[in-house]
Amino acid sequence: MDVFTDVIATMRVGRAKFTRSRWSGPWGHRFGPYPGAGFHVVVEGSCWLIPPSGEPVRLDAGDVVFLPHGALHGLSDRPDTAVEELPPARETDADDSVPDQPHTHLVCGAYRLDRGHAHPFLRTLPEVLHLRSHPGRHPALRAAVDLLGADVTEAKPGAGAALPALLDLLLVYLLRAWLDEESARRPGAGWCAAFTDPVVATALSNVHQNPAHRWTVTELAGKAGLSKTAFARRFTALVGQAPMSYLTWWRLSTGARLLRDGDDTLASVARKVGYTSEFAFAAAFKREFGVAPGRFRRSAHPDDDGARGLVVQAPAIGVPDQRRDQREDEDGPQQRAR
């Protein structure tokens, strides 16, 4: 499993929820805020996105909007309406279009997030990602939008299975497309560079593939052919955390998913993520997520739509923890894990 796949895995909880709607004449709706990531796909027609801040944005057929932090926003047939003036969006499919009049056909919904251990890359995304549909740009995303449009406009057998899968593909392709555009805007900076930088990407891959290994900064630097200091500086500049801080976070995030999705004992989970003592793992887990592993597991049961019941407090990822960085030398997390 590559690092970007891990990013997606830490984000989603259960299936995406979505509605299909057609509108004509004067219309508008308010969405959010909600504990998830919202999305809108314009299948036909056009409309205006009323963002949480800034100027309205025109959306045309094929455009995709992604709101990774669930911010309050609106969609309307006109750009001069305040979000607060719009009625809340319906939670069911709707068709208020008028025959023989221009209409806008939308697919709108949300991906449920487990914000307690969402990958730090996701925390760096802007409030609104708008990906325009232009011929020749982002062909994979365009293909996913076309397939989605075909399935929502025609009642075909198997749509109940196809649509959730297409929404998963939509998430992958829209994040890929944004990474491509952001890399062009800010070459060599942030997570866009981290995913492709040969040194940092290799280190991330090693950590993700084997979190139980007793990694040190010296070993990771050696695999990259750099000095310890040069490697740590490069990693921190792109990822936003020191190598050992990121390693600790990834171990605990992986442990949270094992607790949520499996039935391994606490001791087994601790070993799988690099802690030889379940007590050390429990202490680190509570320090990072604000809840003990046992309580997290007891509360992490599916609800009606496949989401999880417990919302844990997310740590401030992306801002280096100076106290932790001072504590953790090249053997930092392993020393406390023993």
Q: Which of 183, 68, 66 has its CA nearest to residue 125?
A: 68
CATH homologous superfamily for 197-337?
Homeodomain-like (1.10.10.60)
pTM of the model: 0.77
* Per-residue model confidence as pLDDT tens for the chain (338 residues): 578 888 877 766 667 888 889 999 899 999 989 878 899 999 999 999 998 888 999 999 999 999 998 899 999 999 998 999 999 998 888 888 888 888 999 999 888 776 666 788 888 888 999 998 777 788 899 898 888 888 877 767 887 788 888 888 888 899 888 888 888 887 777 888 898 899 999 999 999 999 999 999 999 999 988 999 999 999 999 999 999 999 999 999 899 889 988 889 999 999 999 998 999 999 999 998 889 998 988 886 544 343 333 333 333 333 334 334 434 444 444 444 44
Pairing type for strands 64-67 and 36-44 reads antiparallel
CATH homologous superfamily for 3-185?
Jelly Rolls (2.60.120.10)
CB of 289 within 8 A of CB of 252?
A: yes
Give SS3 for 51: coil
What sign does the dihedral 276-272-2-12 (CA atoms) show? negative
Q: Quick one: tokens of 171? A: 């998430």
Nearest-angstrom CA–CA distance, 48 and 130? 12
Give the residue extent of every domain in the chain. 3-185, 197-337
Side chain identity at 335, as an amino acid letter? Q
